[in-house]
Chains A and B, each alone.
Chain A
Amino acid sequence: MSQWVEACAVDDVEEEDLIRFDHDGRTFAIYRSPDDAFYATDGLCTHEHVHLADGLVMDHIIECPKHNGRFDYRTGEAKGAPVCVNLRTYPVKVEDGRVLIDLS
């Protein structure tokens, strides 16, 4: 069963950027890509559990602020050292200017 949760407004995230979203003791990262699509992943890097919110988004890559681990935020795929474990991703939909993510 899906469990859609409102994460933020569309305008809260700049293009090619991300914000942090906390919900129910968990933390996520919400991305807006250069082609204006929204994505969501777990908030913490799989290397040392540092929050990705301070990281740099370039195209479809989020670079971890701590040691430059890189992930494709659309798929969560880890793109090489020092990260080797993929990020979990979540379905996203946009409704009436709001960004919703499915936590089920």
Chain B
Amino acid sequence: MKIDRRKFLKISGASTAGALVIGFNWPGMVKAASAGETELSGYIKFLADGTVVIMSPNPEIGQGVKTSMPMIVAEEMDVDWQKVVIEQAALDTTKYKRQVAGGSGSIRTSYKTLREAGATIRQLFIETAAQKWNVKPKHCSAKEGIVTHKSGKSARYEDLIEAAKSRELPSGVKLKEPSEFSIIGKGKVNFDAEKIVKGEMKYGMDTVMPEMKYAGIIHTPAFGGKYISHDDSSLASSFPEVKTYKIGNAIAVVGSNTWEIFQAKKLVKVEWELPNTESSESQLEDMKKMIEKGKLKEKKSIGDIGQAMAQADEVLEANYFTPFLPHNTMEPMNFYANVTGNKVHLLGPIQTPEGTRKKISNDLGIPQENITLELTRMGGGFGRRLRNDFVVEAAMISKKAGVPIKLVWTREDDMTGGFYKPATLHNYKASIKEGKLTGWELKGLGMKSPRSVDEKNFPVGAIENIKIESNVAPSKVTTFAWRAPNHNYLGFSEQCFLDEIAEKIGKDAISHRLEMLDGINSEIKYSAAKMKGIVEKVREMSSWRKDKSKKQGFAAYYSYSSYVAMVAEVSEVNGKINVDKVYAAVDCGQVINALGAEAQIQGSIIDAIGHAFYGEIKIKDGTPQSQNFHNYRLGRMSCKPDDIEVAFIESNDDPTGLGEPGMAPASPAVVNAIYQATGKRYYNLPLSQYGIV
């Protein structure tokens, strides 16, 4: 971080009496907190009572950044964590870079900058105290918000505030050694935990603003449907105040409370043109045909796959299917919008505030600087809130209706009108010669998605002959990123297929994996050594296959720069599978928040298993066949493993992602264990179709 010292620190006088406000970009360039602004434009604020307010810029979706990012700053600032208060920052591109929650990237992209910022402030207090005592800064140290000179003299940060205000920020500060960490790597409870359990945490759904009306939306029932006309005449008798507006390809209903608009929506008759005849069956047929006819594009070719297959002692082939999945964040889509003349105020849950503001600016023809976007804590994201369709709707409705509105989607709107995880079909072939895996051929298709393979990931680099092809299977169903996009379902098929290969070769799955990793000598994006590290760790943790009565399955996967290996243990009781235990070994570099990190892995395991068991949205005539949780099953308490054990590899490497990497290995580890327990391999998700869960 290049710190312009004069700009980095600016005292804001009257508006923050007694407080020291420091603005810096988080991460990125530095911005000043100027005196005139009443809004806190800087985002570390030292108050006279010792409280340290840290603004957290990244959207919080449950991945824990509102706690972990400030932990990094607090560590290097050397303040008492008990005195830290965290506030969610609004969108402000002049101060923050990458205000995005996605790609497991919040911590990955900001670790160093956050540390440098914290260390700079710590040094500021040390220098301030040193000058006051007329001693050398290097003879002073800081701990938990107190500067101490070697003579024993000490001063609290808050008592140095006034003197610090007239100083310039130090530069070239030294960061701590990981051995000196007292906050990073420890377990800190989610900062909002108390508010959440008291029902005080405000989500977008809870927004209430002056003069606010409520809006509902009626979308086309089928993907690809087009609005023709609508008739709202039956509203007059029951809901005379309720009004309808055409918004793009949908009808908005505006009324005075949520229940009223939910009811009113049912009375509006909309005529749609519904040309879509797609069904789940036709989609699968289409994908199979594409693979048969070789309608694929080459992504990677190493060695000579044709020759490997021709010379093989045995060729193994398998097809894996995964279905469309709605995101099903527990908080349905919603947003508050107030468009007045040339100004817009937006408030709500969104993973991509910056792109959203740009889009609204374009669509409404209002300059970006006139658009305020505030973030609420999100009731889940999983990729759904990377999209801004519902924010655009909210803004358009407010503009048309001429009132501030809160748009509220029902669960049905949410489940049927979303951007699903693409359905996929993966066709694998493996050539085996003299007990060795010599060739790997993968043909991947994603429905309406170009991402169905990963030509840079394992096993590329570990097999001599490789060919990877993929393509987009056409569909009118809209798809988008869904927690651990691509990896989630690719991990399932690839890790199950490798299990089958190991068995065919007559090798133990883990020994075979380690052999493959030992053979890596080409340039690859993952580290074979780190991958070996987690595989060995999980083998040890799980006492792999030592107790024959335990039916264990293994999988390991690299994504978002993190490595996760899992062993699942299952048992079969009366034909039904119970997941007894899952062991996970994780290498994500330096762990920031031990509690939060473990939660992400536990949650991913449960999330992945729940979806592998039950998750599926079927399509008929282009229409989703599930609308709410009565006919769509999300994982519940009963499908969680009886026990989960997570171990993090000790590492001081820069931290990597955690919100998603636990997804990919979980379902294949379970499916491979099911094979051990039942002797049956399952190639299609969800497993509920086989009656075993």
Whether chains A and B associate is no
